[in-house]
Chains A and B, each alone.
Chain A
Amino acid sequence: MSIQLTINKKKVSLDIDPNTPLLWTLRDHMSLKGTKYGCGIAQCGACTVWVNGEATRSCVLPLSAVANADITTIEGLSEKGDHPVQVAWDQLDVPQCGYCQAGQIMTAASLLKKKPKPSATEIVDGMSGNICRCGTYHRIQEAVKLASDLATKKKPSTTKKPA
């Protein structure tokens, strides 16, 4: 029995084991490789996608649980890679190896959707579920702030200089 869902605004129908985690569904069956595997046990956040607009760890979420849901992955966050979070990430030169960053960006964008102007503490708390082994945390936190400024059209209060 096939499962229907919407991935990055496209309706898809999948005829695979319904226990397949959404992460592997995306990576192996949809060729959407932007969502990353880091731990497989909901600890690192590398696999974060949006399920009906909520940031969710796709590594522990079976396909059956997202039937008819609306999924957004890093590839679908913006058409031209110009979501304020993506712009801020590039401007402040956040990535080192880059592997964790899709998950970081999806988490950050969801945080800003709920709280367009988060406080410094809210940024730190909101982002601390995501591990970055390269230790880009300072810039991640700065970039969330910059993205918030960009999105709320304010002149960025952060300097352009990354942390």
Chain B
Amino acid sequence: MKNTRRSFLQKTALATGAFCLGFDWFKAEGKAGAMVASAVEAGRFNAYLEISSLGKVILYSPNPEIGQGIKTAFPVVVAEELDVDWKDVEVRQANLDTQHFERQLTGGSGALKHSWDRLRKAGATARQMFIQAAAQTWKVDISTCKTAGGFVLGPAGQKASYGSLASLAATLTVPTEPTYKNRKDYKIIGKRTKGVDNANVVTGKPVFGLDIEKPGMVIAQIIRPPFGATLKSFDAADALKMPGIIDVLSFKNKVAIVGQSTWQVMQARAAVSCKYDGQNLESESTHKKWFDEGMAADKAQVQRKDGDFQMAMSKAAKVVEATYECPFISHSPMEPMNFFADVRADGSVLLAGPTQVPQSAQKAVATLLKVDEKKVEVELSKMGGGFGRRLNNDFALEAAELSSLIKKPVKVMWTREDDMMGGIYRPAVRYHFKAGLDASGNMIAFYLRGVGLNAGNATRQDNFPVGAIDNVLIESVNQVSSVTTGPWRAPITNFLGYAEQAFLDEVAEAGGKDPVQMRLDWLARAKNNPVGKITYEPDRFIEVIKQAAEKSQWKKKPGVSQGFSVYFSHLSYVAQVADAVMVNGKPKITHVTAVTDCGEVVNLSGAENQIKGAIIDGMGHAMFAKLRFNEGVAAPANFNSYRLIRGNEIPTIDAHFVDNGIAPTGLGEPALPPTGGSVANAIYAASKKRLYRQPFDI
């Protein structure tokens, strides 16, 4: 199968008479001559589209499913171009298969963008081969045949199912330049397709990582040290005497409790005491000090410079200045971290569980255990959410290391407290903005410094309105913390989006401008005469803004205060208007209108879910998520005091999509960054109170 790595499409006949088209969902678009026919290895159809002689279409979906709906959306595209009925399609989750797949991961809202052409090509190619097979059988010209719902239709009323043509089709040469459907003929793309896992979910099938059970498996929980501390000693004498407990051991500063059942492990864990060494452990006051120092520092990393900011400021008629701040927050997916590992005596390793990046789990575990990657097998489970948390494979490494030490298959389970207190966090950031306005209220100078704690570059220096402003200075300072951080749904922009959009609302107010018109004016500038390089397409920006203003009846709703925001991330554009009213002296968000340009919407049902989910996520965390550190320990620890938004706290949401037929771009994340801004701006419009920190104090 060596050639497969280079091949985009590969077809083969199966002994069973099924048609099987091997294609890589992820590789570069098909190149002529890159096709190789070969036999399918027995029992190994991972990378394949398979059509049995009975007409069943089986598609193997490679990407980890995290709730973003990829397991449904990918096959929709293939089925559309293949021209089969969706009800005849069965989707199966493929395991990690580095030989056949690339980019088998979930993150960065990039899957559809990356795979759109590949998926369409796979479907269209197969469809063409069925047409050829039918034309050959009927001795007619291929141009006289068409397809519909899994059948080829001939000029004289002939009709043959794909299934019946499967064995002949499989012997034909794979076409290099298939013809694609016209988007107005789409029957599945753009319509509502229900999640392919719904039946499993509503009946409680064991599909999640925490549900994994394997022969001989034991259960473990791990006590992790406060951030910045080292384990000095632990006392497990009592725990070891407790029923069902197999071992209590330490590795890498951690203490693992291993037992037969979850409850026994939890009980024993409570009986283990740990002593730690650690000086200057971080607290909220430490973080505040680092923010202050970062803001005062002479030296910062310059991320972007257009014109002369200082000079422009000296000429400004008016200056607007504000500081925004957000804390570290936890991802808190509904399913806490967990992972299964079996490190066997023969050097082979089985990993199983929820990870957004199975291939890096494989690599990292191979490195840790000093075994060949090929000996590490990874089974993918469905994930009870991730939001970026499962991009970090700390949980997989822990499970593997523990299994290698105890020489048993083990499932490491994190409690909710472990998940909230011992994980990876969204970095805490403080932003300082300055704007210089001329006498007519136009922004002539724009400044941003982002100070992040383990945030890397906490700015996104090319973000709009950069490109429309003559004098810009954007810089960042990174402070190193012992608190581990990582991407959180819409990394950096999940908070920066709010800060920028709220600040621009202040700029509009100070300049006496309408927030919508101000942005449209800037975009006209960026389109006609951009300042420096721009990374966004002004026309797409303009379209979502105009539609949002219209659909939300911007500033035309009596008795309702509105806030506007718009953001570009993951190559998609989302404009939002939030509506607020005062209830008992407090502002309440009642409605959000969102207009999204994510290119072609593949599955309308899933797309709406992503937009509404992201808005609820963005609003909930902006309003409620509060996490602090005290001596290296995060608080709170569970949902009783770490407040997640609930069903009685949500606004109604209208999710609209721009219908432009552009190839799909990101969808799982882009609706989140503008949310904090539209909400904060609506709250300001209703209550005249600006919100400078998350969680909002209202």
Q: Which residues of A contact B (CB under 8 A)?
A: 16-17, 19-21, 24, 27-29, 31-41, 43-44, 46, 73-75, 77, 81, 86, 89-91, 93, 95-102, 105, 124-125, 127-141, 161-163
Contact = CB atoms under 8 A, between A and B. Distances in A.
15 contacts: A32-B204, A36-B334, A36-B335, A36-B384, A38-B334, A39-B639, A41-B639, A44-B639, A93-B194, A93-B605, A102-B204, A105-B202, A127-B647, A128-B646, A133-B385
B329 to A, nearest CB: 13
A23 B591 CA distance: 37
B197 to A, nearest CB: 6
- Interface residues of A: mostly helix, strand, loop or mixed? loop
A40 B334 contact: no
B363 to A, nearest CB: 25
Interface in B595-651: 605-606, 608-610, 612-617, 620, 638-640, 644-650
A89 B202 CA distance: 7
A19 B66 CA distance: 34
Contact of A24 (B262, B605, B610, B649): B262
Interface in B199-227: 199-208, 210-211, 213, 219
A134 B219 CA distance: 28
Interface string B322-335: 00000000001111
Contacts of B206: 33-34
Nearest to B605: A93
Contacts of A140: 647
Interface centre among A90, A105, A130 (most CB of B within 10 A): A90
Which interface class (under 10, 10 to 19, 20 to 34, 35 or more) fits B? 35 or more
Contacts of A35: 204
A136 B608 CA distance: 10
A91 B609 CA distance: 14
Interface in B628-685: 638-640, 644-650, 652-653
A81 B202 contact: yes
A89 B204 contact: no
B201 A27 contact: no
A144 B666 CA distance: 31
Given A31-B213, A73-B204, A100 B647 contact: no
A98 B384 contact: yes
Nearest to A80: B203
Contacts of A21: 263
Contacts of A24: 261-263
Interface in B235-264: 243, 261-264
A97 B605 CA distance: 14
Contacts of B653: 138
A97 B335 contact: yes
Contact of A99 (B243, B334, B620, B652): B334
B192 A161 contact: yes
A134 B261 contact: no
A141 B608 CA distance: 15
Interface in B307-334: 332-334
A161 B213 CA distance: 38
A128 B648 contact: yes
A93 B650 CA distance: 19
Given A40-B415, A96-B67, A135 B612 contact: yes
B69 interface: yes
A29 B652 CA distance: 42
Given A24-B262, A37-B210, A133-B332, A98 B197 contact: yes
A128 B650 CA distance: 11
Given A132-B647, A136-B613, A99 B385 contact: yes
A131 B644 contact: yes
A44 B262 CA distance: 19
B426 interface: no
Given A44-B334, A124-B648, A95 B213 contact: no
A96 B204 contact: no
4 smallest A-B Cβ distances: which pairs? A34-B204, A99-B384, A97-B67, A135-B616
Contacts of B202: 74, 81, 86, 89-90, 95, 101-102, 105
A129 B332 CA distance: 17
Nearest to A78: B203
B195 interface: yes
A100 B605 contact: no
Contacts of B9: none
B336 interface: yes
Contacts of A32: 204
B382 interface: yes
Contacts of A27: 262
B605 A135 contact: no
B92 interface: no
A74 B616 contact: no
Could you say which of B69, B204, B211, B383 has the most chain A C-beta atoms within 10 Å of its C-beta?
B204
Given A28-B261, A124-B647, A141-B647, A43 B638 contact: yes
B416 interface: yes
Contacts of A19: 263
A93 B609 contact: yes
Contact of B609 (A40, A96, A161): A96
B204 A33 contact: yes
B584 interface: no
Given A43-B638, A89-B198, A28 B263 contact: yes
Contacts of A105: 202
A86 B334 CA distance: 20
Given A34-B203, A93-B194, A139 B609 contact: yes
Contacts of A37: 210, 336
B201 A125 contact: no
Contacts of B201: 89, 95, 98, 101-102
A99 B208 contact: yes
A20 B386 CA distance: 29
Contacts of A43: 638-640
Contacts of A86: 202-203
Nearest to A37: B210
Contacts of A41: 416, 638-640
B415 A95 contact: no
B639 A74 contact: no
Contacts of B219: 28
Contacts of A75: 203-204
B650 A98 contact: no
B512 to A, nearest CB: 37
Q: Pick from B202, B204, B206, B638 the residue with the most CB of A within 10 Å.
A: B202
Contacts of A130: 647
A34 B415 contact: no
Contacts of A99: 208, 333-335, 384-385
Interface string B551-579: 00000000000000000000000000000
A128 B647 contact: yes
A43 to B, nearest CB: 4
A160 B207 CA distance: 27
A100 B201 CA distance: 9
Contacts of A31: 213
B334 A46 contact: yes
A74 B311 CA distance: 67
A88 B647 CA distance: 18
